[in-house]
Amino acid sequence: QRYQYEETIASFFARINFRGVKARRMARLGCILLGLCSLVVATLTAPLAPGVLCDCAGFCAGACSLPMNATPPSTLDLYRLTPNNLTDLVNKDTGDVMGDVFFVLNEYDMPFRCANGSGSNARGCFLDVNNVIMRFEVEVDGQFGPYLHCNPPSNGRGGNIPGPFACAPGGSRGGGPPPPPRNTSAYCACPRTNRTVGEQRVSMQFGSFGGFIGPLSRKLDGLWFSTTRAGDCGSAAVGTGGCSWRTKAVVKAVNASCVQRSLYSNVESKNVSCFASCPGATPPPAPANRSTACAVDCFQQTALGLSASELVQPWVDAFGSNDPTKGGCPACTLNDAGAYTCPQTL
């Protein structure tokens, strides 16, 4: 409890230009020597913007968290779209429900992109083969750091090839701005960056973009997370030896195509006439021809007209049941080779 009081008092000193470690030291003086904790907690109640107290000096010294303010230790409900034989979270990126729905909805145009000059090894094209979406319970210490982009090796042409995943700042999942400069709130060049659980609100990265990605990021306002090897607790308790996260449980793994089909058909069903006007259209409930620009335009316009809850409900249903008649996706099973085998779904 005293730690929470110190956080509040630290925010006060930060507002009067004491930052990072200095604010923390002043807060401890206030709590321990002056006994002002209760008074400050009662009076300093104005909300602070995410990460407002923190710069790289404070973060690297362990005095604060970036880019969001620290939270108590907790268990997060996280998801990952992944090849069926990559089933761990070491050096991997994940998202909460809103964060991963944002990611998957942005993949609707993948057949169009991959069929129109990008090539089979272009960024993201590899994501359409033998994938599952896994749901995890992940224990975290709440001391978040800058989000890192964890990917397999690059093929040197904007795509990826199989190999060990590594995490680094910059780039983005599915496209985005250039890498941030070192020693900014987007990336702090110190060992702590590689130990903390990275966190990023997608609207903070993509919210200023035009087209489809910006408005969708603001509508869903999800979170992405990165979990590194250096921060992995393994079987130890979170916090042991400075570790920051551990996989508590794999809740469910499902065929990615089942979830994608549910999300996409939900949008397509809301504007049947638009999709029917596109080349190669097939009568519903058959899926639209996603390799045409017309279908992509229909999808994006329709999706932006729906509420966040309307966009997300098929995802919730997919993981909430194994029964396809209830919108559920059947659970996949892990085989002896360490890969998931999934039931065929119509």
Query: Per-residue confidence at 294, pLDDT binned at 50, 70, 90?
Result: very high
Q: What are the φ/ψ torsions at residue 328 (nearest 5 degrees)?
A: -80, 155
Residue found under tokens 């145009």: 109
| Distance, first Cα to last Cα, the chain | 53
Tell me the β-bridge partners of 149: 168
Model-level pTM greater than 0.85?
A: no
Phi then psi for 275, rounded to 5 degrees?
-65, -35
Angle between helix 308-320 and helix 97-105 axes, rounded to 10 deg: 100
CA distance 328 to 137: 19
Backbone angles phi, psi at 273, to 5 degrees: -65, -35
| Region class of 144: left (phi > 0), else alpha (psi between -120 and 50), else beta | beta
**Residue 11 pLDDT greater than 50, yes or no:** no
Distance CA 239, CA 116 (A): 48
Is residue 12 very low, low, confident or very high in pLDDT (cuts 50, 70, 90)? very low
Whole-number Å distance between alpha carbons of 13 and 68: 18
Q: 178 pLDDT band (50/70/90 cuts)?
A: very low
259: nearest Cα among 205, 321, 199, 211: 321
| Residues 186/67, Cβ–Cβ less than 8 Å | yes
Q: What's the DSSP call for residue 184?
A: B
Q: Transcribe 34-52 into DSSP letters.
A: S--HHHHHHH------TTT
**pLDDT tens, position by position, 142-162:** 999 999 999 887 766 556 667
**pLDDT tens track for 96-145:** 999 999 999 999 988 888 777 654 445 556 555 689 999 999 999 999 99
Residue 175 has pLDDT above 80, yes or no: no
pLDDT interval class at 170 (50, 70, 90): low
pLDDT for 267-280, tens place per residue?
999 999 999 999 88
* Number of helices (H), then strands (E), in the chain: 12, 11
pLDDT at position 121 is 46
Q: What is the C-alpha to C-alpha distance for residues 177 and 89, in angstroms, rounded to an integer?
A: 25
How many CA atoms does the CB half-sphere of 117 hold within 13 Å? 0
